[in-house]
Amino acid sequence: MPDKIAQERWDDLVVGTSPLMLMLAQLLAVEGRRVLIVDRDAVRGGAWQTAIIKDDSKRSDVATEIACHVIEAFPGVYECLEAAAGVPFETLREQPMRVGRNGRLLPYFNRPLLLLAALRMTAGVAVHGLKTVLGRRSARNEYLNNRIKLANLLRFQIGYLRGCPKMRGPRFGYVDFLTRLYERAIRAGADFERREVTAIHRDGNRWRVTDSERRTLLVSAVHATTSVGLRPDQAGTGWVAAKARPDLRLAVVVELAEADILTHQCYVGIWRRWPLRRVSRVDTMPPVDKSEAGIKRFLVELQFERRANKRELNSALEEALDLTAIRRPGAPFRQIGAVECVAMQNIDLLPEGELADGVITYHTSGNLAAGIANWLRNRAPRSPRWLPPDMPLAESSLATPEDVDGPANHLV
Ligand SMILES: Cc1cc2nc3c(=O)[nH]c(=O)nc-3n(C[C@H](O)[C@H](O)[C@H](O)COP(=O)(O)OP(=O)(O)OC[C@H]3O[C@@H](n4cnc5c(N)ncnc54)[C@H](O)[C@@H]3O)c2cc1C
């Protein structure tokens, strides 16, 4: 049985810590709501988590994202993220790229690719929609994903056929960005606890939220993304834990000498070349340690079906650095270390919107910028209030603006 006495300290429960949820927590807390953020993982960020890799050959360790990241140019999104994180978003000097099937480097957005994406999604909606109607439950996620992505493309991105706006990134990189979002939510008054939500049910005019340790909370509102591993219960009176399957990726940090770098790519997505997925530049503060001058780090995201041996890993890294035109042919590189990224793929995705009075879901799965653009369009207050931009970060933070004499994204 769950605890008899449910805690009633909070008004709003925010489930999950991806950037949209951290933004939302700050906004609600600034408005004076008592907010609790929960995550089943002790490390915040969801797919935007950060990690520290020990580098024995240097004095300072390496702070890295656990996957390569890019935020696409959707209407109002950069401005909103700037205000929420309190850090400028600057035009990326090297715009994100993709490696096509034939190994050619292409701009991240290009006309044939956009048209192809629209066709693929339309086919996805038709095929998976039909399978869902015929009772194939497993097709429902694909159907929902394709439908939402197609709507986003038609709503926000079709204008890119005439020309795509330049993409931007946070001045000090994504590790700093995520840290700021979290710190600012806490400074605004939100609390954070590690909890895994397993059930949400009505209790009078409040929502009773149960976690995996059978603790309960009573809150007025629950905010979650569609990917928090819950599904409607059989009686249709609430939501309970759903199944998820892990999707394992490996992010390897490699270091190259500046002189051995052909192109300082900031982000390159690689199309269908197993196990290569994406490569991005690790943008952090200027080196504190002198031994770091003249080197640059890149994050290579790989997806192996089983644990790779040393030789397989090395050849995947070489191929990734060559295909993306990052290293001069044959130039040496050093592997600093690797982090595993376990993203959970939900088998039952929640629908998006107000599921009941006070239970609201946001869909950012697959594309953070699209999720934020939809939130801005449908749910954000007309003039959202954020903490002032000059709020200094806590000492625990990985980086402070005072340490920096120039934008890391531009340090090439
Ligand atoms: C490896 C990877 C890289 C990506 N890169 C990009 C990118 O570069 N750009 C982009 O726009 N999008 C990217 N995405 C898409 C990404 O899904 C979104 O950007 C965004 O992170 C989705 O947010 P989310 O909250 O839906 O899911 P997540 O980011 O997965 O966050 C969900 C969080 O909720 C927690 N949680 C889940 N269930 C529960 C529960 N029951 N109780 C408590 N906590 C729970 C999880 O621990 C997690 O922290 C990437 C996705 C993956 C998997």
The residues facing 248 across adjacent strands are 342
What are the tens digits of pLDDT across the range 18-65? 999 999 999 999 999 999 999 999 999 999 999 988 877 766 788 889
Least confident window among 208-217, 258-267, 358-367, 392-401? 392-401
Residue 2 lies in a domain: no
Residue 79 lies in a domain: no
The proportion of the chain whose per-residue pLDDT surpasses 70, expressed as a percent, equals 90
- Say how many residues make up the chain: 412
Q: What is the pTM of this model?
A: 0.91
Question: Is the pLDDT at 292 greater than 80, yes or no?
Answer: no
**Helix, strand, or coil (residue 142):** helix
Query: Which of 7, 12, 8 has the alpha carbon at shortest distance from 360?
Result: 12
Ligand 1 center from residue 234 Cα (angstroms): 26
**Whether residue 239 sits in one domain with residue 363:** yes
Residue 291 has a pLDDT of 67
Asked if 286 and 406 touch (Cβ cutoff 8 Å), the reply is: yes
φ, ψ dihedrals at 172, nearest 5°: -105, 20
**Whether residue 141 sits in one domain with residue 20:** no
Question: Is the pLDDT at 155 greater than 60, yes or no?
Answer: yes
Domain CATH for 32:
3.50.50.60
**Whether residue 272 sits in one domain with residue 123:** no
Amino acid occupying residue 376: L
Q: How confident is the model at residue 409 (pLDDT cuts 50, 70, 90)?
A: very low
Residue 105 has a pLDDT of 95
**Whether residue 222 sits in one domain with residue 97:** no
Give the mean model confidence (pLDDT) for residues 100-113: 89
Token pair 């949820």: residue: 21
Residue 304 has a pLDDT of 85
Token pair 């060559």: residue: 322
C-alpha distance from residue 83 to each of 87, 170, 310 (Å) = 7, 11, 44
φ, ψ dihedrals at 300, nearest 5°: -110, 120
Residue 8 has a pLDDT of 86
What are the tens digits of pLDDT across the range 316-359? 999 999 999 999 999 999 999 999 888 777 777 788 899 999 99
**Whether residue 355 sits in one domain with residue 333:** no
Element (H, E) at 217: strand 216-219
Residue 91 has a pLDDT of 96
The proportion of the chain whose per-residue pLDDT surpasses 90, expressed as a percent, equals 66
Mean pLDDT of the chain: 88
Residue 403 has a pLDDT of 35
Rounded to 10 deg, the angle between the 19-30 and 173-187 helix axes is 30
Residue nearest to atom 48 of ligand 1 (CA): 46
Q: How many Cα neighbours within 13 Å face the side chain of 20?
A: 27
C-alpha distance from residue 53 to each of 61, 248, 255, 337 (Å) = 6, 18, 13, 6
Ligand 1 center from residue 408 Cα (angstroms): 25
Rounded distance between C-alpha atoms, residue 384 and residue 382, angstroms: 6
Q: Give the residue numbers spanning the domain of 303.
A: 54-73+89-103+246-344
Give the mean model confidence (pLDDT) for residues 86-94: 93
Is the preceding omega at residue 112 within 30 degrees of 0, hence cis? no
Q: Which atom of ligand 1 is nearest to the CA of 343?
A: 53
- Residue 210 tokens read as 């149960």
Query: Which of 99, 102, 81 has the alpha carbon at shortest distance from 90?
Result: 81
**Whether residue 328 sits in one domain with residue 205:** no
Number of domains in the chain: 3
**Whether residue 64 sits in one domain with residue 17:** no
Asked if 9 and 34 touch (Cβ cutoff 8 Å), the reply is: yes
**Whether residue 257 sits in one domain with residue 311:** yes
**Whether residue 234 sits in one domain with residue 352:** yes
Rounded distance between C-alpha atoms, residue 195 and residue 358, angstroms: 20
**Whether residue 204 sits in one domain with residue 175:** yes
Ligand 1 cavity residues, CB under 6 Å: 15-18, 21, 38-41, 46-48, 67, 69-71, 196-197, 225, 227-229, 249, 341, 343, 364-369
Question: Is the pLDDT at 315 greater than 50, yes or no?
Answer: yes
Ligand 1 center from residue 91 Cα (angstroms): 24
Q: Which atom of ligand 1 is nearest to the CA of 41?
A: 47
Residue 282 lies in a domain: yes
Question: Is the pLDDT at 297 greater than 60, yes or no?
Answer: yes
